[in-house]
Amino acid sequence: MMTAETPDIHPVRRGIVARLLGGDSPTIATRNTTCSGAASRAGWPSTKWRPHRIDADFGRSNDAVAAARATPSEKADWPNLQPVGGWRKRALDLAVASTAIILALPLMAAVALLIKLVTGGPVLFAHRRIGFNGRPFRCYKFRTMVENAEQVLEDYLACNPQAADEWRETQKLKFDPRITFLGQMLRKSSLDELPQLVNVLRGEMSCVGPRPIVANELVRYGSAADEYLQTRPGITGLWQISGRSGVDYARRVALDAEYVRNWSIWSDFIILAWTAVAVMRFDQAS
């Protein structure tokens, strides 16, 4: 179990880790359902899964939003360190993301229209994730789940102890009742992640890097949390080209740490090239 005192965590990031983990409870009271006993026995943690409304912040820089909302103590926890890769990685991100979003605009418009026609409700889903130096941001995706996904997940885990164990171990479900049929198609093709190009342009994510995680997942990274906090999360990375959903969580953490420790601009080019191959392997999609 990782804490702010875990060895190998960089001193300037101990405050970040403590702040992110301090306010997050690992468990949640069981909903009053017919399967409450199963949930109690399974001991599954709180999902803390809650979509955010897409508002005026969508077009603003994450740094500007964070600076406007952060308290003085929070700002003190955000040391002015440069992300791994510096200006070279940022230049690559801007070139790739701006080109990709222009080429993908017709496809993104078609996907948005399809979601609206087939499922109704919001087209985009925004989830709070942890970025460089622990800065929270809203990670955008096309919506692939039912609108009441949080309630559906809680009820499903309460009635299925084995699924609760799977969720606790991997934060994923092989058979996820929240995902619509259209959502499955979008996930298999990775089209649901196209809106994250906006996150890249805003400086919240990179084209290549560790997958963005929620605050509760930092406990799974141990001392590797230091590597995660050193860079911007990525749309793709070593995990995606190494088997995607076929890779267990511990291996995923190791791959994220390996990427940060051995970063080079050429590794980003290679991962981007292999990503085109990986997304075609639908059997390994998450």
Categorize the per-residue pLDDT at 45 as very low, low, confident or very high, splitting at 50, 70 and 90.
Answer: very low
Categorize the per-residue pLDDT at 22 as very low, low, confident or very high, splitting at 50, 70 and 90.
Answer: low
CB atoms within 10 A of CB 45: 17
Percentage of the residues of the chain whose pLDDT score is greater than 70: 69
Task: Report pLDDT for 53.
Answer: 40
Average pLDDT, the chain: 79
Q: Decide: 78 and 70 in contact? Cβ < 8 Å.
A: yes
Tell me: pLDDT of 185 over 50.
yes
62-71 pLDDT per residue, tens: 544 444 455 5
Mean pLDDT of the 13-29 span:
53
Task: Report pLDDT for 8.
Answer: 57
pTM of the model: 0.73
> Residue 22, exposed/middle/buried by CB under 10 A (0-12, 13-18, 19+)?
exposed
Tell me: pLDDT of 150 over 60.
yes
- Bridge partners of residue 138, in order along the sequence: 128
Task: Report pLDDT for 39.
Answer: 42
Higher pLDDT, 2 or 174: 174
Tell me: pLDDT of 93 over 80.
yes
Of 54-68, 96-110, 164-178, 189-203, where does mean pLDDT reach its minimum? Answer: 54-68
Q: Decide: 129 and 180 in contact? Cβ < 8 Å.
A: no
- Bridge partners of residue 125, in order along the sequence: 141
Highest mean pLDDT range out of 15-19, 84-88, 164-168? 84-88
Tell me: pLDDT of 198 over 50.
yes
Of 3-7, 54-58, 118-122, 139-143, where does mean pLDDT reach its minimum? Answer: 54-58
Mean pLDDT of the 234-256 span:
85
Q: Decide: 218 and 225 in contact? Cβ < 8 Å.
A: yes
Q: Please give the Cα distance from 132 to 135 (Å, whole number).
A: 6
